[in-house]
Amino acid sequence: ITAIIINIEHWSMTVRGYRRLSDREAALVTPIVEDVATAMHLTETPTFLIHDIPTPGGWTHTRHIVLSKRSLDLERSQLAALIAHELHHWHARDAVKSTFIWACSLPVALLANVQSGAESGGGQIVGFLVMILFWPAMVLLRYVIAPITGVENRRCEYEADAAAADAGYGAGLIKMLESIRVFEPGRTGWDSVMAATHPPVELRIEALNRRHALSTALSGE
């Protein structure tokens, strides 16, 4: 299932409504991506796509990185930090890992998406009825799968933050975390549960500040 998802990803991006960058958007994003890739010593980068939603954010797939339309309005330092964070996820193959976990949990993941879709399309009452019908799957997802995968998810987030900071984008990342708080939103019921396992924003900022202080102290020596 993971191999199939990876190979049909370009098609699935289109189905989800993600689009290519316009010439104007490419003129903004491409130089930043090139600068970030150079700073992170990456010799290749994935394809970048745009999602036309009004909130800033970005997320990584196995072969693509998606930026929200609103994220292009961020200050350059914040947009560069967002791109650096997502590029590390892509380079570390974190999306492949998460896709494999999703595939292993496919029945539960699909039911979580059904509940989320029911709530968004029919309101809380419909979502509650779905929850009543499929409560074993919801319990399994929230109280077994999420806690187990949460350990790895938190490690990946801290590592992506650290990689962005080491490339010189720590200040922009801190500023973005302080203003946006959540920049990798859940798009489905499954994604929302997985996103909830990310470290608290305050602890991420704390880790970045400590890393900066340590780097400053070492450079002073």
Give the residue from 51, 43, 35, 14 showing the smallest Cα distance to 83. 35
Percentage of residues in the chain having pLDDT higher than 70: 89
pLDDT digits (tens, 9 = 90+) for 85-118: 999 999 999 999 999 999 999 888 887 777 766 6
Give me the mean pLDDT over the 4-10 stretch: 95
Residues, the chain, total? 221
Give the residue from 107, 159, 166, 160 showing the smallest Cα distance to 137. 107
Q: Are strands 64-68 and 47-51 parallel, antiparallel or unpaired?
A: parallel
State the pTM of this model: 0.88
Alpha helices in 22-143 (DSSP H): 23-39, 76-91, 94-104, 106-122, 124-133, 135-140
Range 29-36, long-range pairs (CB < 8 A, 24+ positions):
29/67, 29/72, 29/79, 29/83, 32/76, 32/79, 32/80, 32/83, 33/83, 33/87, 35/80, 36/80, 36/83, 36/84, 36/87, 36/167, 36/169
pLDDT digits (tens, 9 = 90+) for 33-88: 999 999 999 999 999 999 998 888 899 999 999 999 999 999 999 999 999 999 99
